[in-house]
């Protein structure tokens, strides 16, 4: 092709215009013009010297691409001027060229052959080409109609992708502008503007840019059809959005509303600073520009520290909070604030609004200096039930367990710092102060007894329980206290001690062991050592007056599973965050400690709940900062702005150990494995932080991609996915509308701000371990993998798929990484064996037979099987449709004489025919719909017959086993457009799973891996099928039937070109 194709096309267009201008005027000039055009058509592809351009252009040795290119321009000339080629033999040679190029495309559409009369072919071709151009121009004109834009994209793509239309239009229009992606990109920009709820100005600019660029490329191509059709499309779309925007400015101007942030102010002391907050909301669809505070006035008791100023732009659909400051120069209980605001109003000028607000003073009876030394939000666990806020459900459950006839036991679990220790402390306090029953509560934590190893911890636990028990249970006078037993081999001796103590006391015993999951892994796993711990616990808990509460973090759930039979009598109680439906308790948790001094608004409570997600520790941590700031400001009334300011200050200073349980807790396994998983979890969190920093919606896929490209640890794909899934399961991350976010926004803020640095510092301490933690899984596909896959795929064309064939197929891809990627595709193949296809045929008959009846006198009954004619498109019985016709008939017990060719259907519809009498349904059966173009072409050929059948009351169905919705849609749209009344039923729509490289496909979760696999499939696919390296229509299919493989599936699966070994070769 010419190195400057656009320049070449411009020269061709110029020669074309000259030919049209002089056609029928002068023979010599006409000949010169036609030779010039022929020469330029030839040199468009190969810039060489040409002696006889007309002779060479029509030579049988001319390359096919030149013939196709020339045919379109010559046919275009005939459309423009009937006499354009009426010189010498040019007209006859052009028809011969059309015969060569269009015989298998346009001729079939027009129902003509090369044997037709020249004048007939000529007339029909001109009519066809003119109709195509007319359709294109009409579609372009509809771009001015806003309501028709949504359908215009599909109509244009349908026109551009119709292979008959492409045969004519492709050489006249730039491929870059008519491909699906480019057209979609243009219309997406326009749709983004039309669909925008707010911010039309920004999306308008994006639409303008897209239209301008599309028009620029259309003009640069050089052909008048490109300028007129494609350039015109861009101009019309641009005009449409600009007209709509002007209408929008007039009909829906910016709408502002104003509201104060309600609070009371510290106007009780001289020198106090107060800040008034004004919320400005733009509920219109366009931005409010140049918002200004023009004038401001306040009562003389206050001195303004804010001056009139421009406040800038308020974008549509947003609320912006502005603040106005003042200093108290005279004590007052009330003050009036006056504001004058103005802003640009399109087409009008400046709009203005006067606002008046009354500021109320807060209470004046606070000793602020005394409050400076108070800390109402202690982060330590509470010690009595009087202090406990909320948790009524959990506390009542524990009371029910402990107050039963026999003291019960429970495992208490939940994330760290959600209040588990406070809960059991409250229970212990209430039991020890019980006036009815005598209780002895032994409440200890692992810090009271844990040793350097499991054995010393076991001994320490036994000794601590014994000591606490003998100290608390009264010893009758004259009896010796028991001596300390040897607990080095387990807790069994404690049972005997308890029996002895209970023999002289009526007390009920409750043992509370906090942070139980902090014990060594050997004690928690299923080992002989753990048996020496849990069997005595079970034995003691079976005593009528004894119970255990084992308290710990998320690992306690795993512990319950591992020690199931030893803990099967223990209740399980989860302590979680405060839920949204329990806001009363959450608000009480924040308000009660400061109720004497601060008034906290509902909106402020909501703000705190958002940032903490209801986690009591994080909520109190943030409230601590709030209290300090309110005391510093001498302000007792807390608004949402005050709360947000305090939260951001606290979030910037929060330490990483506040969140360490997110990557330390909830990880289970042996010692080495736990350490590795905790390191890996840090690495996943680093990747998540980097994804959050990108400022776009974060998905599981984007985190895994970050992990693959930036992780300091080498994690296998399986490990990465599992760790991320565990973080989601544990609700460290939560999914909302398919996007990931941290459940606790405070943690997400920290993760983006400080998290990467802190987590990397943690990893540095384990550099040696990091070096040894590599993914050891080999990339090479093993024979075991092959055998398993062959069993899964079953049979193809009557033969079991052999591992040797698959191995030969894989070896063709060379690199073992490529082989693994392609093997994943093979494993994901959607195989339709005979049984599965039969099931689909049975399903389809249910659709066909819904209204199938026969008349018997005045009554009607359900018709069993006759009256249904089964056929296929085309005349040959060798295609897949024929086989599936037979399968449909066999599965649904339809007689053989009702399974007929399409020719037999045509004959049956002729007047007086006795064939297929009583036909009510006509069913066309096939295996697969890809692009849908093949069936559309068949419908075009069969249109008259199908319309005749409909007129005679026959209901027509197209049934396929599987396919893509776009293909089905194309068929349905074509039928509707041409008045063909048919029902199209696809048993399996496989849009996501059937396209292996689509975002919906589950074959490759990691987008980078998906792109690598696509690159490999395309690299080898283009060697097999140059035009469609990813399957016909580039549908990226992975569908295989037992008898054949559709050409919409990847060519690497079915092609035999150039000696390629394919697992599913096509016939």
Residues 419 and 528 in one domain: yes
In-domain check, residue 378:
no
- How far is it, in rounded angstroms, from Cα 1002 to Cα 830? 12
Residue 584 belongs to domain with CATH number: 1.10.8
- How far is it, in rounded angstroms, from Cα 413 to Cα 573? 6
| Residues 200 and 316: beta-carbon distance below 8 Å | yes
CA-CA distances (angstroms) from residue 1057 to 46, 1061, 1066?
28, 9, 11
Residue 504 CB partners (closer than 8 Å, separation 6+):
475, 476, 479
Q: What is the rounded end-to-end Cα distance, in angstroms, of the chain?
A: 35
Mean pLDDT by 10 residues, the chain (1067 residues): 64 81 71 81 69 77 86 88 80 89 90 90 92 91 82 88 88 88 90 80 87 92 91 92 79 82 91 91 84 89 85 83 90 93 79 93 90 92 88 93 94 93 94 90 94 92 93 71 84 92 90 93 88 94 95 91 90 94 93 95 95 95 95 93 90 86 78 76 89 83 84 68 91 90 93 82 56 43 78 78 84 84 92 85 84 41 66 60 81 86 86 84 91 89 88 90 91 90 90 84 88 93 90 91 89 87 85
pLDDT at site 854 = 41
Last residue of a domain, one of 629, 653, 677: 653
Residue for token pair 């008045």: 979
In-domain check, residue 325:
yes
| Domain range for 61 | 5-102
DSSP state of 227: I
- How far is it, in rounded angstroms, from Cα 245 to Cα 285? 10
Residues 896 and 982 in one domain: yes
| Range list of H helices, 654-766 | 661-664, 671-693, 700-710, 717-729, 745-750, 756-764
pLDDT at site 855 = 35
pLDDT at site 741 = 94
Residue 839 belongs to domain with CATH number: 3.40.50
Residues 402 and 427 in one domain: yes
pLDDT at site 47 = 58
Residues 21 and 36 in one domain: yes
Residues 261 and 243 in one domain: no
Residue 162 CB partners (closer than 8 Å, separation 6+):
933
In-domain check, residue 703:
yes
Residues 408 and 548 in one domain: yes
- 288's tokens: 């409010």
Residues 455 and 593 in one domain: no
Last residue of a domain, one of 82, 102, 122: 102
Residues 359 and 406 in one domain: no
Q: What is the CA radius of gyration of the chain?
A: 40
In-domain check, residue 109:
no
DSSP string computed for 339-361: EEEEEEETTTEEEEEEEEEEEEB
- How far is it, in rounded angstroms, from Cα 16 to Cα 34? 8
Tell the burial category of 345 from Cβ atoms under 10 Å away from its Cβ (0-12, 13-18, 19+): middle
Facing residues of 962 across strands? Answer: 928, 988
Q: What angle in degrees, to the nearest 10, is found between the helix axes of 880-891 and 834-848?
A: 70
CA-CA distances (angstroms) from residue 702 to 758, 999, 1000, 1014?
22, 12, 14, 18
Residue 358 belongs to domain with CATH number: 2.60.40.10
In-domain check, residue 590:
yes
pLDDT at site 3 = 46
- 939's tokens: 């419908």
Residues 895 and 1002 in one domain: no
How many other CB atoms are there within 10 angstroms of residue 573's CB atom?
Answer: 20
In-domain check, residue 387:
no
Residue for token pair 């919320």: 279
State the pTM of this model.
0.57
In-domain check, residue 922:
yes
pLDDT at site 576 = 94
Residues 189 and 208 in one domain: yes
Residues 261 and 247 in one domain: no
DSSP state of 1033: G
pLDDT at site 46 = 65
Convert 61-79 to b/e letters by CB count within 10 Å (16 or more is b).
ebeeebbbbbbbbbbbbbb
CA-CA distances (angstroms) from residue 969 to 154, 480, 972?
10, 92, 5
- How far is it, in rounded angstroms, from Cα 420 to Cα 397? 13
In-domain check, residue 385:
no
Residues 546 and 590 in one domain: no
| Residues 559 and 524: beta-carbon distance below 8 Å | yes
| Residues 550 and 401: beta-carbon distance below 8 Å | no
Report the residue count for the chain. 1067
Collapse the DSSP code of 1010 into the 3-class scheme (helix H, G, I; strand E, B; otherwise coil) and give the result. helix
Q: How many domains does one find in the chain?
A: 8
Last residue of a domain, one of 521, 556, 574: 574
């Amino acid at each position: 092709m010419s190195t400057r194709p656009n320049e070449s096309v411009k020269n061709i267009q110029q020669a074309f215009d000259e030919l049209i201008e002089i056609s029928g005027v002068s023979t010599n000039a006409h000949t010169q013009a036609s030779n010039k055009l022929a020469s330029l058509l030839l040199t468009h592809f190969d810039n060489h010297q040409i002696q006889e351009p007309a002779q060479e252009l029509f030579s049988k040795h001319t390359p096919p691409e030149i013939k196709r290119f020339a045919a379109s321009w010559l046919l275009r000339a005939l459309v423009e001027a009937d006499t354009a080629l009426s010189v010498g033999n040019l007209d006859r040679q052009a028809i011969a060229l059309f015969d060569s190029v269009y015989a298998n495309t346009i001729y079939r559409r027009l129902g003509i052959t090369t044997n037709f009369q020249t004048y007939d072919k000529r007339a029909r071709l001109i009519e066809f080409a003119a109709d195509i151009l007319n359709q294109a121009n009409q579609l372009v004109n509809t771009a001015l109609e806003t309501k028709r834009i949504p359908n215009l994209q599909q109509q244009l793509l349908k026109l551009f992708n119709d292979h008959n239309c492409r045969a004519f239009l492709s050489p006249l229009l730039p491929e870059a502008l008519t491909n699906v992606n480019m057209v979609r990109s243009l219309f997406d920009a326009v749709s983004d503007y039309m669909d925008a709820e707010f911010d039309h100005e920004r999306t308008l600019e994006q639409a303008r840019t897209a239209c301008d660029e599309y028009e620029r490329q259309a003009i640069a191509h050089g052909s008048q059809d490109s300028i007129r059709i494609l350039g015109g499309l861009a101009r019309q779309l641009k005009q449409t959005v600009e007209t709509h925007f002007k209408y929008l400015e007039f009909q829906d101007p910016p709408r502002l509303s104003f509201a104060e942030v309600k609070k009371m102010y510290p106007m009780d002391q001289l020198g106090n600073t107060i800040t008034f907050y004004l919320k400005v909301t733009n509920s219109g669809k366009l931005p409010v520009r140049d918002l200004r505070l023009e004038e401001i006035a306040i009562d003389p008791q206050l001195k303004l520290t804010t001056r009139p100023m421009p406040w800038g732009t308020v974008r549509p659909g947003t609320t912006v909070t502005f603040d106005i400051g003042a200093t108290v120069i005279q004590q007052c209980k009330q003050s009036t604030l006056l504001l004058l605001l103005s802003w640009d109003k399109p087409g009008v000028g400046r709009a203005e609004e006067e606002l008046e607000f009354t500021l109320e003073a807060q209470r004046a009876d606070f000793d602020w200096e005394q409050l400076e030394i108070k800390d109402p939000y202690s982060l330590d666990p509470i010690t009595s039930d009087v202090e406990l806020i909320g948790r009524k459900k959990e506390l009542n459950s524990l009371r029910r367990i402990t107050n039963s006839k026999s003291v019960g036991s429970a495992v208490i679990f939940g994330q760290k710092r959600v209040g588990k220790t406070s809960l059991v402390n409250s229970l212990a306090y209430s039991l020890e102060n019980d006036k009815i029953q005598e209780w002895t509560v032994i409440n200890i934590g692992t810090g009271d007894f844990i040793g350097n190893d499991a054995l010393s911890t076991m001994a320490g636990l036994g000794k601590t329980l014994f000591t606490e028990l003998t100290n608390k249970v009264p010893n009758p006078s004259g009896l010796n206290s028991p001596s300390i037993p040897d607990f080095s081999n387990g807790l069994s001796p404690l049972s005997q001690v308890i029996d002895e103590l209970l023999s002289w006391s009526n007390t009920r015993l409750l043992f509370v062991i906090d942070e139980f999951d902090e014990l060594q892994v050997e004690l928690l796993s299923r080992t002989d050592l753990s048996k020496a711990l849990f069997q005595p616990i079970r034995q003691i808990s079976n005593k009528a007056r004894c119970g255990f509460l084992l308290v710990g973090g998320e690992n306690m759930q795993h512990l319950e599973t591992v020690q199931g039979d030893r803990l099967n009598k223990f209740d399980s109680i989860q302590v979680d965050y405060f839920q949204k439906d329990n806001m009363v308790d959450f608000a009480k948790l924040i308000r009660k400690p400061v109720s004497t001094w601060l008034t906290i608004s509902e909106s402020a409570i909501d703000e705190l709940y958002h940032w903490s997600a209801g986690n009591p520790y994080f909520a109190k941590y943030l409230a601590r900062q709030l209290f300090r700031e309110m005391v510093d400001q001498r302000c007792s009334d807390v608004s949402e702005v005050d709360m947000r300011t305090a939260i951001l200050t606290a979030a910037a200073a929060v330490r990483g150990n506040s969140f360490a349980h997110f990557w330390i807790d909830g990880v289970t396994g042996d010692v080495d494995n736990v350490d590795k998983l905790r390191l890996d979890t840090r690495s996943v969190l680093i990747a998540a932080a980097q994804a959050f920093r990108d400022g776009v919606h974060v998905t599981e896929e984007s985190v895994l991609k970050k992990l693959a490209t930036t992780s300091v640890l080498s994690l296998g794909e399986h490990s990465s996915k599992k760790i991320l899934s565990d973080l989601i399961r544990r609700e460290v991350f939560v999914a909302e509308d398919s996007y990931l976010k941290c459940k606790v926004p405070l943690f997400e803020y920290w993760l983006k701000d400080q998290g990467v640095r802190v987590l990397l510092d943690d990893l540095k301490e384990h550099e040696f371990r990091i070096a040894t933690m590599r993914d050891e899984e080999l990339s090479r596909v093993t024979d075991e993998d092959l055998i398993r896959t062959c069993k899964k795929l079953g049979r193809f064309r009557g033969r079991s798929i052999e591992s040797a064939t698959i191995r030969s197929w894989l070896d063709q891809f060379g690199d073992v990484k490529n082989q693994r990627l392609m093997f994943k595709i093979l494993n994901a193949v959607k195989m339709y064996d005979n049984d599965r296809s039969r099931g689909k045929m049975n399903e389809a008959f249910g659709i066909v037979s819904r209204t199938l009846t026969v008349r018997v006198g005045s009554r009607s009954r359900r018709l069993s099987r006759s009256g249904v004619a089964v056929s296929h498109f085309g005349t040959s019985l060798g295609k897949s449709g024929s086989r599936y016709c037979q399968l449909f008939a066999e599965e649904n017990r339809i007689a053989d004489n009702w399974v007929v060719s399409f020719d037999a259907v045509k004959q049956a519809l002729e007047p007086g025919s006795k064939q297929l009498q009583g036909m009510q349904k006509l069913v066309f059966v096939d295996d697969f719909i890809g692009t849908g173009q093949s069936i559309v072409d068949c419908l075009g050929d069969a249109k008259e017959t199908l319309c005749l059948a409909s007129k005679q009351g026959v209901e027509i169905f197209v049934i396929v086993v599987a396919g893509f919705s776009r293909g089905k849609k194309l068929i349905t749209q074509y039928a509707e457009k041409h008045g063909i009344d048919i029902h199209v039923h696809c048993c399996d729509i496989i849009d996501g799973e059937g396209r292996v490289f689509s975002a919906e496909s589950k074959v490759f979760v990691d987008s980078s891996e998906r792109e690598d696999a696509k690159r490999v499939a395309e690299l080898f696919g283009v060697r097999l099928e140059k035009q469609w390296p990813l399957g016909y229509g580039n549908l990226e299919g992975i569908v295989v039937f037992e008898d054949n493989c559709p050409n919409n599936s990847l060519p690497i699966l079915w092609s035999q070109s150039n000696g390629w070994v394919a697992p599913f070769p096509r016939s």
